[in-house]
Amino acid sequence: MRMPGWNREEALRSALAASAGDRQSAAWRELAQVVRVADRLDGSLEPFWPPRESGPVPLRAACHRLARELDRLARCDAETDKAVADWLARHAGPPAPSPASPATANTISGHVVLHGSSVQARDIGGVHIHPESRPTGRRRIRPRQLPPLTAHFLGREADLRRLDALCARRPPRVPQVLVIHGLAGVGKTALAIRWLHRHLDAFPGGQLHADLGGHSTADGGGPVTADAVLEAFLVALGAPSIPPGTAQRAALWRSLTAKLKLAVLLDDAASATQVRPLLSAGLSVLTVVTSRTSLTGLRVEGARGYRLEGLSTGSALELLAVGGGVRVGRERRATREVVRLCGRLPLAVGLASAHLALRPHRSVSTLVRYLSQGQGVADTLRVNGESVIRTALDMSYGLLPPDPARLYRRMGLLPTDRYDSFLLAAVFPEDVRSAVSGHRSEAAVRVADAAVHTLVEANLLKETGPDVYEFHTVVRSHARRLGEERADVERRDVLNRLVDWCLATAAVAEDVLVPGHRLPGYDDLLHAVAPTPLDGPQEALRWLDTRRSALMGAVRHCAREGLYAHCWRLTDVMWPLFLRFRPTELWIEAHRLGLDAARRCGARQGEGRMLTSGAIGLRAAGEYPEAAQWYRQALDMATDDGDPRLQAQAVNGLGHICLLTHRLDEACGYFETALRLREAIGYRRGAALSRRRLGETLLAGGDMTGAARCLRRALHELRSLGEDYEATRALALLGHVLCLAEDHDKGVRRLRQARAGFRAGGAAHSEHWEGRCLEWLGAAAESRGDRAEAALHYKAARKLFRRLDLTDAGRLDERLSRL
C-alpha cells in the first residue's frame, strides 16, 4: 500500500542508484525487462538505457533521468505502471515516512507559532497559548463515473495502442486533450471507455463523464450546455457551493482540478465552443472528447485528434458471427457482402448480427437481399422500429450549413464512389456557381472546396488522396436518398453537369493517350466546365480506370434523357479506357447506346465511329459474327458516303476477324486493301497499324521472314509518329517472331524491353500486353528446355490475366499443366 507522501519517481531514483552498482544482479536483469515493457509505446527510453556515466553526466544523474522517464510512461500506460510497481515492490527499500505534522501549532501574540507536540503550561504571563484551528470541510469525493465496458468489443487493439502512443508523446507543461472523432456508429465512445478503463490507476483523483448530447434528440433539447455540465462536475467533486455563472463555475472547476490526477470523458460533443469551458488547466488531467466532427478549433489550440475508422473485415465478420452463428461460416460470400454493405461500422454490423440472432431461420443471403434493396443499411436495420443509423446521419446532415448540405445531396446522386474538386465544382448549385466570376477557373474549385471542408470536418466525407474524396458506404446511401427526394429538375441538373465534366476530362485523357484518335469538328461539347487536370499518361490511365462507373453512368443518363450528341460523343472519347483496360461488357453496352444515339441525331461520322469501335469490343468478347456485321454496316456506309478513311477502318476490322478465325488468305487480302487505302490518303498511323496486322497474319501462317519485315517497318513508323503504345505492341510481336525464328536472344531482349514499357506507368502501360509478353517469354524459355523459368513467366502472366480475361488465364493453366 502506498503511504501518504509516497513518490514513485523518488522511489525509482533510490532503487536505481542502489541497483546500478551490480549489473549482474537479479534486480538489474528484471529492470531490463521493465524497460522493454515501457519502451514498446514509442521507443523513447533508448537514450536513457542503460544509464551510464558520460562526460559531465555522472551515473547518478543518468539514473535520475531514467527514473523520470519510467515514471512518465507509467502514468500513461497501465502495463508499464504495473511492471514498475512490481519491480519496486521487490527491489526498493521501505518508503521514507512523510515529515510528521505537528500535533498542535501554538500561536504567540497572534502571529508567532511555537511548533511542538505539547506545551506544559497553559498561562505564561500575558502569553495565551492555544491549538491552531483546523478546517472542517468534508473529505474530497473521488468520482468513478466511467460507463461500464461493452460486452462485444472486437478488433480495436491497434487503435488502443495508437491512443497510448498519442498519450505518451504529449507536449510537456500543457494540459492533455484528446479528440476521438469519426462517423456516427463507428464506436468512438466504446473505444474511449475501454481505453480509459485500461488506465484507471493513472488517475487516482477519479474519473468524470458527461454526455454532451451533441446529436441527441431527447425532448428536442439539443446539446447540453457547459453550465449544466460544470454544475454536475463540481457537485461530483464535493464543492460546498456552486457559483451562478458559467465563467465562475469554470474558474472554480479549474481551481479544484489544478493538482488532481483526473480523467474526464466528454462524450458526443457538438462543437469546440461547447467543450472549451470544460477543459481543466491541470497538467495531470486528461480530457478525452468524442465527437462526430473533428473539432478543429480544439486541435488548433493543441488538442490531439484521432480519427476512428471502421472495423477490419475479420473483426466485422467475428462480430456478425455473434448473432449469426454457424450461418456465417456456411455462407461466407454472403457474410462478406453483409459486412461490405454495413461499411464495417460496428453499429451497423452489430445490428445485422442482432437481426440474425432474432431470426434464427433466416439465411445470410436473405439478409443481403434486404440490405441491398430500397435505401439500404441505413433504413433496414432498426431498433424498436427506429432506423437508428438513418436517424444519426439525419442529425449530422441537419447540422450542416446550406451550401455543404446541398452539395452532400447532389453528390449522392452521382454514379461514382470517388469525387475530386473539379467534379464537385462542376456539380455545385448553379446560384452558388454563378456568384463566382468565371466559374471555369480555380475560383469555382475554391468555393466547392469550402463546402467539402465542412463535410470532411463532419466526418461525412473522407479525403483519400490529394483532392480526392470518398463517402463511407452507409453515408453514400444516405446522401443518395436525400438527393432522390429532391425535384426531378434538380436530379437532372446534377447528372447533366456530370456529363459535362466527364466529356471535358475524358477528352483530356484522350489527348494524352491517343492524340490522333479524335474526330475533327465535334469539340463544341468538350468545354462546358473545367476538366480535372491530368498530368501525363499514368494519371490519365488512373483517372479512366477509377472513373468507369461515373463515365458509364453518364452515358446511360444521356441515352435516357435524349442527350444523343452527348451520348455518342462521350462514348467516343472514352476510347482509351476500352483500348487499355478491355472492359468488354461496358465497351459493348456503351457502343450500343452510342450507336443508337448517333443514328437518332443524324451524326453520320459518329455512327461510323460507333460501328467500328463497337465492333472491336464485340470482337474482344468473342462475338465474331456480330462484330463482322457491324464492320460490314460501316463499310456500306463508307462506300455510300465516299469515306475512304472509314472504309479502310472497316476493311481492316474484317481482316482481323478473319485472322482470329484462321482464314489467313482472306485476312491478308483485307489488310493489304486497308493498307493501300490508308497510304493513298496519307494516313500514316493507320497504314502502320494495317502493316502490323499483316505481320501478325504472316506470323500465323509461318512466314517468319515476311512477318519480321512488316513488323520492323510498322515499329519504325509508329515510333516516328510518337505512338508509344502501338509501337510497343509492334515491338512485342517482333520479339515473339524472332524467338520463333530461332533468333532467341534478340527476341527475348525485345520481349523484355516491350514488357518493361507495358509495365511502366507511361503512355504504353497495359496489363493485357504485359501478360502477353510474359506468356511469350515463357514459351521461349520452354522451347529452350528451361522449365523453371517458363513456369515463372507463365505464373506471372496467369496472375495478370485472372484479373482481365479468364479465357486467357485458362490458356496459361493449360501451359503450366504441360510443363
What's the CA gap between 23 and 26, in Å, rounded? Answer: 8
What's the CA gap between 26 and 42, in Å, rounded? Answer: 26
Residue 430: per-residue pLDDT:
60
What's the CA gap between 351 and 323, in Å, rounded? Answer: 9
Please enumerate in sequence order all residues whose Cβ is within 8 A of that of 100, keeping only pairs 6 or more positions apart, or say none.
Answer: none
The DSSP output letter for 174 is S
CB 443 within 8 A of CB 437: yes
What's the CA gap between 791 and 800, in Å, rounded? Answer: 14
What's the CA gap between 146 and 433, in Å, rounded? Answer: 49
Nearest to 463 by CA among 424, 433, 492: 424
pTM: 0.72
Other residues' Cβ atoms within 10 Å of the Cβ of residue 117? 8
- Strands across the sheet with 468-470, in order? 419-420, 468-470, 462-465
Give average pLDDT by consecutive 10-residue segment, the chain, 819 residues. Answer: 60 82 81 82 72 67 83 77 84 53 41 39 37 44 87 88 88 86 93 93 92 70 86 91 90 92 94 93 93 91 92 93 91 93 92 92 91 78 80 89 93 92 85 46 77 93 91 91 88 94 95 87 86 92 94 97 96 94 94 98 96 96 96 96 95 96 96 96 95 96 95 96 94 96 92 94 87 95 94 94 84 90
The DSSP output letter for 785 is T
Residue 137: per-residue pLDDT:
44
307-310 contacts, C-beta under 8 A, 24 or more apart? 307/181, 307/182, 307/459, 308/159, 308/180, 308/181, 308/182, 308/186, 308/187, 308/188, 308/191, 309/182, 309/186, 310/186, 310/343, 310/344, 310/345, 310/346, 310/472
Residue 662: per-residue pLDDT:
95
Residue 441: per-residue pLDDT:
55
CB 367 within 8 A of CB 360: no
Residue 100: per-residue pLDDT:
40
Inter-helix orientation angle 78-91/26-39, to 10°: 170
CB 353 within 8 A of CB 324: yes
Other residues' Cβ atoms within 10 Å of the Cβ of residue 804? 16
Nearest to 337 by CA among 294, 378, 371: 371
Please enumerate in sequence order all residues whose Cβ is within 8 A of that of 360, keeping only pairs 6 or more positions apart, or say none.
Answer: 325
Residue 139: per-residue pLDDT:
53
CB 476 within 8 A of CB 457: no
What's the CA gap between 110 and 128, in Å, rounded? Answer: 9
Residue 122: per-residue pLDDT:
36
Cell 493513472 locates to 202
Per the DSSP assignment, residues forming a β-bridge with 307 are 181
CATH 3.40.50.1220 fits 157-307, yes or no: no
Other residues' Cβ atoms within 10 Å of the Cβ of residue 162? 14
Domain chopping of the chain, boundaries: 8-91, 157-307, 313-373, 766-819
Pairing of strands 285-291, 419-420: unpaired
